[in-house]
Structure 1
Amino acid sequence: MPLPAPGPGSRPSVRRVVAVLTVALLVGGAAGFGGWYVWSRDGGGTHKDDARTKVSTAPTGPSAQDTSLSGPTPAPSLDATSASPSVSALPTGYHRVSNAEFGTAVPDGWQAETQGGKNGVTIYFFRESGGGPRYLQVFRVSEDAPTPRGTLTAAEKDLRKQVPGYHRNSLTSVPDARGEAAELDYSHPSRKWGVDVRTLDRVIPAGGGQLYVVLTSGPAGSWPEQRQIQEAAVTSFCLADAC
């Protein structure tokens, strides 16, 4: 739901990554985007590719340069982020979830599920109890030789077309001890929930040349709650075989 500026022969790959990222962003934001699904034209969200399953969770105890293109709230430097994130020290009010792909921190009480995305990608969702507008979303970037900035730039082109009222707050390169990372901060009105929502979409390096998207969204009025949730998820993120 990512390549450098496309050259000859690269357009099909760019289209594929836009499809994957936009599916994840729009499906993951069904609450915020009025239930619109890329792979379901009727907007109902029922399709043979929409395979939902429960994700196992394993609770644990409590616990530099920014190149902003626009917007007043650049992402902070996350000093806790390291090449080997701690799997034990989590903020109070969070627990650790683990699955076949990765481990990360999620707010207590949030419900987990998965959906099948394009190119064999599994999209992991963690939503506040009751299915409200707050959620965390994680998935793997599936294209060859992606870049964090390129992934977000490509996705934003589609978001501008598909999301009514889309507004970019910032697009930034983000310090991360694991390697190059980037973040898109954007807002839009939610028809379903009747509030403006604000979303942070971070693309991070996960080791072995892989990139993952870590996206957090919630009511704009609850800001900077989204930042706190994302920081906990990003700083504790690790691939399953490295946790």
Structure 2
Amino acid sequence: MPQTIAARYELLEVLGRGGMGAVWRARDRTLDREVAVKEVLLPQGLDDAAVERLYARTFREARSAARLDHPGIVTVYDVVEEDGRPWIVMRLVRAEGLDRVIAREGPLPPARVAAIGLDLLDALGAAHAAGVVHRDVKPGNVLLPPGRAVLTDFGIATVAGDETLTQAGAIVGSPAYLAPEQARYQKATPASDLWSLGATLYAAVEARPPFGRPDVWGVMAAVLSDDPDPLRLAGPLAPVLHGLLRKDPEQRMGPEEAGRLLRRAAQAAPEPAAAPAGPPHNVTLDPRPAGPTVATPPPSPPRRVPWPLLVPAGIFAAALVVAVVAVVLFTNGDENRSGRGGPGTSSSAPSTSPSGRTSVPDGYTPYKGSAFTAAAPEGWKAEPEGDDVTFTDQTKGVVRGLAFQRLGSSFQSPGDGLASAIGQMKNDPGYPDFTQESFDRNVPSTYGPAAELQFTFTKNGTPSRARVRVFKSTGVFYQVLLVTDQAHWDESVTYYETFLRSLTMTG
């Protein structure tokens, strides 16, 4: 005999379980319709006073969530008490969670993720306008019925301005998607939801959370002190992800700018493939008017990265993450070389004239990136990804390139960051025959403190050499890296020095 709640809701089957309870498919006997019922389950070991506070918060927050009427938010119909506990009655949406879609499909195309982000941003905007902060935006709380994304589980939401009732000693929310201020037990705000939105979109496009660590304490330390793991597949989403995942809520990207960048990324999508025949995978009961369309273009082939990024593991000390500089190694040899002349050959690089710069030295071409302008060697191929750009010489028989990379703001000085990298590379098999040639912690720079490292190594049997300069500009660390085979080192240094002299930060 099925259990019945409040003499009205007949529990039929468990749809899922989480840290704060279980969700049931149920039948509303009064209105003869199917609904979802959330059974609130509390952590073990709480005293009676803590249980009473949590139940009070649940009732209050369910009532606040019931005020929200938006197609991108799962509607709360009712909150009832049974066995002394609250049960939240919601609209039943038969659709997969974003977490399951990622697990099955892997990284999702950036345009599709951007469209999902627009739906969620619109839903959060409606909630924030009503004074409701979700506090647990994550892939598992995003449902994907046909053509849109829906945000569910406002069960741990808090009403802005209300007295906070908290779990004693418990973390409310999912650590991998928790904003730094929440990890510090500070009050969650709309900006906290925007951080969690950024982490959710990061996970969708990269198929991994932004802070991949082996345990919850490592994740929490990374959320507080580290930059997100480097993006590989985000493409046009990179600027909005960087903006949403700023640790300082005062500096975090706002909803207007995020919406503008997400629309741009969504419009960059290829035409979606025709819908397959037969019924859709997801079926939504009690449908609402459709929000912005979530395009599902055919999967793109994996982006071929010409310079694999080898990132030494982070170093943890007293819950503080010491950032380690990412160093790029050149590995492709001649397989992508065009065979056309030397480095002065006319260009295949997709460059435009940087603002305010009308000329560059002979043999160079002006390049304008999202964060800088500079003179790049003419004929070298430019491959931008977010704020980062790699330039590779296309001359047959020559193995060399330049890279500009955004490192973030986790370490205290350029010298400290490079020193950490040196320690890691000495013991890293990815850098065979690593030998430090020079390390200067105090290099003159237009932008303030800078440090420079030069080292040799062997890659794919080729003796190679690298020079990297790390500097700080407007609170963010960047690096400019030269990597080349030993045979072409002397002339390559000229390219590196010209690039640095012409570098102008614009971001």
- TM-score range (shorter-chain normalised) is 0.5 to 0.7
Q: Name the residue aligned to 1:157.
A: 423
The alpha carbon displacement at 1:136 in A equals 0.4
Q: Give, in whole Å, the separation in 2 of the partners of 1:168 and 1:225.
A: 21
Q: Name the residue aligned to 2:374.
A: 104
Q: Name the residue aligned to 2:330.
A: 29
The alpha carbon displacement at 1:122 in A equals 4.7
What amino acid maps onto 2:432 in structure 1? P
Shift in alpha-carbon separation, 1:150–1:170, aligned structure 2, 3 A: same
State the identity %.
Answer: 23
Aligned length: 175
1:128 aligns with 2:403: no
Q: Name the residue aligned to 2:351.
A: 57
Contact 1:148 1:182 in 2 (8 A): yes
Q: Name the residue aligned to 1:210.
A: 476
Q: Name the residue aligned to 2:318.
A: 8
Secondary structure of 1:232's aligned partner: helix
Q: Name the residue aligned to 1:199.
A: 466
Contact 2:450 2:471 in 1 (8 A): yes
Contact 1:55 1:99 in 2 (8 A): no
Shift in alpha-carbon separation, 1:210–1:95, aligned structure 2, 3 A: same
Consecutive unaligned residues in structure 2, runs of 5 or more:
1-310, 334-347
1:87 aligns with 2:357: yes
1:230 aligns with 2:496: yes
Q: Give, in whole Å, the separation in 1 of the partners of 2:382 and 2:456.
A: 24
For each residue in 1:106-154, what CA deviation from the matched residue of structure 2 results, as whole angstroms up to 9, or x when unmatched? 1000001135xxxxx7532100015842100011121335311111111
Relative contact order (alpha carbons < 8 A, sep ≥ 6): 1 or 2 greater?
1
Shift in alpha-carbon separation, 1:59–1:141, aligned structure 2, 3 A: same
The alpha carbon displacement at 1:190 in A equals 2.4
For each residue in 1:155-199, what CA deviation from the matched residue of structure 2 results, as whole angstroms up to 9, or x when unmatched? 1222222211111110012112321111110111221xx431111
Q: Give, in whole Å, the separation in 1 of the partners of 2:450 and 2:475.
A: 12
Q: Name the residue aligned to 1:39.
A: none
What amino acid maps onto 2:504 in structure 1? C
Q: Give, in whole Å, the separation in 2 of the partners of 1:212 and 1:55.
A: 22
Q: Give, in whole Å, the separation in 2 of the partners of 1:6 and 1:124.
A: 29
**What TM-score does the superposition give when structure 2 sets the normalisation length?**
0.32
RMSD (CA atoms): 2.8
Q: Give, in whole Å, the separation in 2 of the partners of 1:31 and 1:190.
A: 10
Q: Give, in whole Å, the separation in 2 of the partners of 1:122 and 1:90.
A: 22
Q: Name the residue aligned to 1:35.
A: none
Q: Name the residue aligned to 1:142.
A: 408
Consecutive unaligned residues in structure 1, runs of 5 or more:
33-53, 61-85, 116-120
1:182 aligns with 2:451: yes
Secondary structure of 2:408's aligned partner: coil
More helix, by proportion: 2
The alpha carbon displacement at 1:221 in A equals 2.5
